[in-house]
Structure 1
Amino acid sequence: MNTDAVTTRLLDFIRVEFLWSDEGREIDASTPLLEWGIIDSLRIALLQSFILNEWDVPVPAALIDAKNFKNASCIAAMICELDKETVR
């Protein structure tokens, strides 16, 4: 799994699903998603569902924290690490 491709797909999802009412707002891989209020507990649940559907990677509750969901790069790194650990 390619981290850059995962990051790009995550950013696309976040822009469409979470920023649709704020079209002028630009985000990139390092944008602080929690700090800027772009994601919250409900949106993290939506991201979990998206991650499972898109990459077949479940995100355990123990990994839902500010470090792993700080920005799109951190989320992508977590997904890629979980993908390595997932037995298929």
Structure 2
Amino acid sequence: MALGGSIVIHAVHNVSTSLASDLCWPVLISLINDWGGVLIILVIVFLSWDRERSWIVQELDDEIRAGTISRAEYEIVASYWRRIATQ
């Protein structure tokens, strides 16, 4: 499904850039198409970050109960910005 969608989006981009030599409006379709791809990638990145954070929280819950790490260490590891500030 993703491959088919990628092929269609690429075809729309190619057709719109080919038509842009004769007409002006296909350039807008090409730009929307390109920036739409960037937006999709950003959404995937943010969803992946959220999923990774939930995995870290889930896995470290057992470590806190076992006493392997402290609650303060957990708070640092569970937050990207706290990890950056600590470094």
TM-score, scaled relative to structure 2: 0.29
Query: Which structure has the greater CA radius of gyration?
Result: 2
Structure number having the greater helix percentage: 2
